[in-house]
A = this chain, B = another copy of it.
Amino acid sequence: MIPPTEIRRGGAAATVTDVARAAGVSRATAARVLGDYGYVNVETRERVLAAARSLAYQANQLAKSVATGRSKTIGVVVADIDSPYFARAIRAITGTASAHGFVVILATTDEDIEVERDAVRVLLTKRVDGLIISPTSSSEVAHLARLSEIDCPIVLLDRRVPQLRADTFAVDNFRAAYEAVTMLIGRGHTDIALASNALAHPGQHLISSVRERIDGYRAALDDAEIPVDPQLVVMGGAEPQNLAHELRVLCSSPARPTAFLATESSVALVILNVLRELHFSIPDDVSLICFNNPDWTSITTPPLTVISQPIKELATAATEKLIARLTGAASNVRKETLLAATLIRRGSVSDVCHVQRSAVLTSPQPLKPPGKSMS
Please give the residue numbers on chain A whose beta carbons come within 8 Å of chain B beta carbons, in ascending order.
11, 13, 58-63, 65-66, 71, 73, 80-82, 84, 87-88, 90-91, 94-95, 98, 103-108, 119, 121-127, 149-151, 266, 269, 272-273, 276, 294-296, 298-301
Contacts and interface: CB of A to CB of B under 8 A. Distances in A.
A62 B71 contact: yes
A122 B107 contact: no
A296 B298 contact: no
A59 B84 CA distance: 35
A164 B129 CA distance: 35
B151 A11 contact: yes
B82 A103 contact: no
Please give the count of copies of this chain that the complex contains: 2
Given A299-B272, A300-B300, A104 B105 contact: yes
Contacts of A149: 11
Contacts of A58: 121, 124-125
Nearest to A98: B107
B91 A103 contact: no
A13 B84 contact: no
Contacts of A273: 298-299
B95 A91 contact: no
Contacts of A82: 84, 87-88, 91
A91 B81 contact: yes
Given A11-B150, A58-B124, A59-B125, A87 B94 contact: no
A49 to B, nearest CB: 17
Most chain B beta-carbon contacts within 10 A, residue among A103, A104, A298: A103
A304 to B, nearest CB: 10
B94 A125 contact: no
Instruction: Give me the 7 closest cross-chain CB pairs, A-B, nearest first.
Output: A296-B296, A301-B301, A87-B87, A272-B299, A61-B125, A63-B66, A106-B106
30 contacts: A13-B150, A58-B121, A58-B124, A60-B66, A61-B126, A62-B62, A62-B66, A62-B71, A62-B126, A62-B127, A63-B66, A66-B66, A80-B91, A82-B88, A91-B108, A94-B106, A95-B108, A104-B105, A104-B106, A105-B105, A105-B106, A106-B106, A269-B296, A272-B299, A273-B299, A276-B299, A294-B296, A296-B296, A296-B300, A299-B300
Contacts of A122: 98, 103
A41 to B, nearest CB: 26
A124 B13 CA distance: 10
A326 B266 CA distance: 38
A300 B298 contact: no
